[in-house]
Amino acid sequence: MKRAIVAMGGGPTREGTLGRGHFFLPTVFDQVKPAMRIAREEIFGPVVGILTCRSGEEAVEILNGTQYGLSSSIYTRDVNLAQRAIRDIEAGIVYVNGPTIGAEVHLPFGGVKETGNGHREAGTAVLDVFSEWKTVYIDYSGRLQKAQINA
């Protein structure tokens, strides 16, 4: 199998204040194929792989062919392609003409398939994830109440 090409970066930062720590340079891999490890795993770091495809449908097929589905982006001028991608992409969030930034704290955010932890733990949905709901009715009238049924 052919190897991806490191087009930029590819090693630790050795300069400036970051050079004293363990920081990885932003790295771009070119000529990545869908079967390659870099295309099939989640890399939480400054690394991107460039895959070439011939259509929006093929791009969605490549994306959905992985076991992960945290966040995705599609760049297009074709609104119909964008709508099909939104419908067909298997990911917890889909951006159109914008990067995946991971800062969606105001929205329920989480992945599908083998990514994330199965919860949508952000925004108001966090209340459902970390709460046990209990419904309580209190009648302070001091009288026995009947059900609200007129017979």
| Per-residue confidence (pLDDT) for residue 11, from 0 to 100 | 86
Domain ranges in the chain are: 5-103
Supply the pLDDT for residue 59. 94
Would you state the pLDDT for residue 132? 86
Q: Beta strand pairing status for 93-96 and 27-32?
A: unpaired
Return the half-sphere exposure (C-beta side, CA atoms, 13 A cut-off) of residue 55: 6
- pLDDT, residue 37, reads 93
Q: Which CATH number fits domain 5-103: 3.40.50.2000, 3.40.309.10, 1.10.3300.10, 3.40.50.150?
A: 3.40.309.10
Say whether pTM exceeds 0.75: no
Please report the pLDDT score of residue 83 as a whole number: 96
- Could you state, in chain order, the average pLDDT of each consecutive group of 10 residues for the chain (151 residues)? 90 85 90 94 89 94 92 92 96 90 73 75 76 84 76 57
CA distances from 31 to 5, 24, 147 (A): 6, 21, 70
CA angle (72 as vertex; 76, 89 as ends), nearest 5: 80
Q: What is the pLDDT at residue 17? A: 86
pLDDT of residue 79: 95
